[in-house]
C-alpha cells in the first residue's frame, strides 16, 4: 500500500458508485479512486473521465488484478456481490462492499472465511454506522438516557414504481423490500440492541406478480421481551423515522432514519417531568460543482473517511459493524425469507471455488 493514501478500485459504474467517488473527491487526495471497471468498457471510460480516474476496464477481473489497487468498492446489484467479492479476495484485494453483502448467510460465511484467511480488508458499506448522529445515538442508548430499551419501531416505505420490469420489482435483479431496504432497518435494530441476536422473528408479507416482496411487516423479539417492529413498503410512502422507546422516555430519529441529520430525546426525569433534548448533526456541506444522486448522499463522506482511517491503521475489519454482526444480520434476513417462502436463485447455487 502506498503510504498514507488509500487507493480504491471501483467495481461497477452506476449511481451509487458515482456518489461514492464524489464522496472520495471530498477527502483531498487521502483516498483516491485509481481504477474503475464496468461490464462495458465505454461506461468505465466515461466514469473514469468524470472523476479523473487513471485506468478504466471493461471487465471486473482486470480491475481485481490491477497491482496499484489496495481495496475495491463493490457497487453492482447485490445478486452479483458474492461472485465479484470472491474474485477480489482471491486476487488479494480488500473490499468495501455495498449492502446487503450477499444474498444469503452461506455466501457471506464463505467470503468472511476467505477474507480472514488471506488477512484482507472486508467491510459492509453500511454508511449509517459512520454518521455522527448514529455514533452519538449508540452512546446515549448505552448510557441509559431512556432507561431500558423496550421497543424499536422503524419505517422504510416508498411510493410505488409502476414499471413492473423496474429492478426494484424484479427478484432476479435483487428487487423486493427485504433485501433492498429491510437490510437498513434490520441493521439499525441490531445497532440499537447492541448486536444481540433476536430470539423470535415474525414476518407478514405481500408479493408482486414477479414474486418480489413489495410489503413486509416484521417483528423481532429480543431475549428480555424487547420488540423490534419494522414496516417496509414499496407500495405507499410514509414517514421513514426510527423510534427507540425505553422505560424512561424515547428517542425519535428524524427521517430518513438511515442517513439522518439528528434526533430528539424525550426523557422522563426522576421527578416525573418530561424534558426534550435536541441533537443536530448537519450534513457536510456539498462542495459547489458536485452533487449526489441519493438523498443525503454527501453523508457517504463519513463512511469513506472511516474506511481510510481503518486501512491506514492497519485494521482489516470495521469496529462499528463487525463481520460477525453483518453475518447475524444476514442470518435474520435468511430466517425472514424462510418464513416468507422467498427463495432466490443464489440459494440453490453451490459456493464458488
CB of 213 to a copy of itself, least distance (A): 13
Exactly one of 5, 77, 197, 268 binds a copy of itself (CB under 8 A); which one? 268
The footprint of a copy of itself on residues 127-186 (CB under 8 A) is 146-147, 149-151, 153, 155, 157, 159-160
291: contact with a copy of itself by CB under 8 A = no
264 vs 279: CA distance, rounded Å: 6
CB of 257 to a copy of itself, least distance (A): 13
CB of 221 to a copy of itself, least distance (A): 8
**What's the burial of 65, exposed, middle or buried (CB within 10 Å: 0-12/13-18/19+)?**
middle
What is the 3-state secondary structure of 331-349? HHHHHHHHHHCCCCHHHHC
The number of residues that bind a copy of itself (CB under 8 A) is 36
Exactly one of 75, 208, 245, 258 binds a copy of itself (CB under 8 A); which one? 245
The grid cell for 289 is 460543482
250: contact with a copy of itself by CB under 8 A = yes
The grid cell for 72 is 475495491
206: contact with a copy of itself by CB under 8 A = yes
Indicate the residue among 153 and 318 with the shorter CB distance to a copy of itself: 153
The dihedral built from the CA positions of residue 137, 182, 167 and 75, taken in this order, carries a sign that is: positive
107: contact with a copy of itself by CB under 8 A = no
What is the 3-state secondary structure of 136-191? HHHHHHHHCCCCCEEEEEEEEECCCCCCCCCHHHCHHHCCCHHHHHHHHHHHHHHH
231: contact with a copy of itself by CB under 8 A = yes
51 vs 66: CA distance, rounded Å: 18
Exactly one of 170, 252, 316, 335 binds a copy of itself (CB under 8 A); which one? 252
Indicate the residue among 72 and 158 with the shorter CB distance to a copy of itself: 158
Indicate the residue among 88 and 229 with the shorter CB distance to a copy of itself: 229
25: contact with a copy of itself by CB under 8 A = no
DSSP 33-94: EEEEE-SSHHHHHHHHHHHT-SEEESSHHHHHT-TT-SEEEE-S-GGGHHHHHHHHHHTT-E
Residues within the interface to a copy of itself (CB under 8 A): 146-147, 149-151, 153, 155, 157, 159-160, 202, 204, 206, 215, 217, 219, 225, 227, 229, 231, 233, 235-239, 243, 245-250, 252, 266, 268
Amino acid at each position: 500500500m502506498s503510504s498514507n493514501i488509500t487507493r480504491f478500485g471501483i467495481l461497477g459504474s452506476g449511481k451509487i458508485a458515482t456518489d461514492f467517488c464524489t464522496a472520495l473527491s471530498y477527502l483531498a487526495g487521502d483516498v483516491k479512486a485509481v481504477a474503475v471497471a464496468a461490464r462495458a468498457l465505454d461506461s468505465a471510460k466515461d466514469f473514469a473521465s468524470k472523476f479523473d480516474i487513471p485506468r478504466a476496464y471493461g471487465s471486473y477481473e482486470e480491475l481485481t488484478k490491477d497491482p496499484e489497487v489496495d481495496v475495491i468498492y463493490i457497487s453492482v446489484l447485490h445478486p452479483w456481490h458474492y461472485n465479484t467479492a470472491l474474485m477480489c479476495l482471491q486476487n488479494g484485494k480488500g473490499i468495501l462492499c455495498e449492502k446487503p453483502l450477499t444474498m444469503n448467510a452461506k455466501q457471506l460465511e464463505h467470503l468472511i472465511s476467505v477474507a480472514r484467511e488471506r488477512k484482507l480488508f472486508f467491510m459492509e458499506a453500511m454508511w449509517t454506522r459512520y454518521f455522527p448522529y448514529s455514533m452519538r445515538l449508540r452512546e446515549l442508548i448505552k448510557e441509559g438516557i431512556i432507561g431500558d430499551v423496550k421497543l424499536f419501531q422503524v419505517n422504510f416505505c416508498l411510493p410505488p414504481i409502476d414499471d413492473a420490469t423496474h429492478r426494484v420489482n424484479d427478484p432476479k435483479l435483487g428487487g423486493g423490500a427485504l433485501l433492498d431496504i429491510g437490510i437498513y432497518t434490520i441493521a439499525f435494530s441490531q445497532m440499537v440492541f447492541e448486536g444481540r441476536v433476536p430470539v423470535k422473528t415474525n414476518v407478514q408479507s405481500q408479493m408482486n406478480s414477479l414474486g418480489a416482496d413489495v410489503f413486509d411487516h416484521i417483528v423481532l423479539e429480543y431475549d428480555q421481551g424487547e420488540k423490534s417492529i419494522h414496516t417496509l413498503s414499496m407500495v405507499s410512502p410514509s414517514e421513514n423515522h426510527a423510534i427507540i422507546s425505553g422505560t424512561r422516555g424515547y428517542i425519535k430519529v428524524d427521517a430518513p432514519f438511515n442517513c439522518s441529520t439528528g434526533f430528539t430525546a424525550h426523557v422522563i426525569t426522576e421527578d416525573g417531568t418530561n424534558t426534550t433534548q435536541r441533537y443536530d448533526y448537519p450534513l457536510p456541506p456539498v462542495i459547489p460543482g458536485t452533487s449526489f444522486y441519493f438523498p443525503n448522499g454527501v453523508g457517504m463522506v463519513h463512511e469513506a473517511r472511516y474506511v481510510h482511517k481503518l486501512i491506514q491503521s492497519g485494521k482489516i475489519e470495521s469496529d462499528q459493524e463487525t463481520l460477525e454482526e453483518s453475518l447475524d444480520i444476514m442470518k435474520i434476513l435468511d430466517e425472514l425469507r424462510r418464513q416468507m417462502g422467498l427463495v432466490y436463485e443464489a440459494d440453490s447455487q453451490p459456493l464458488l471455488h
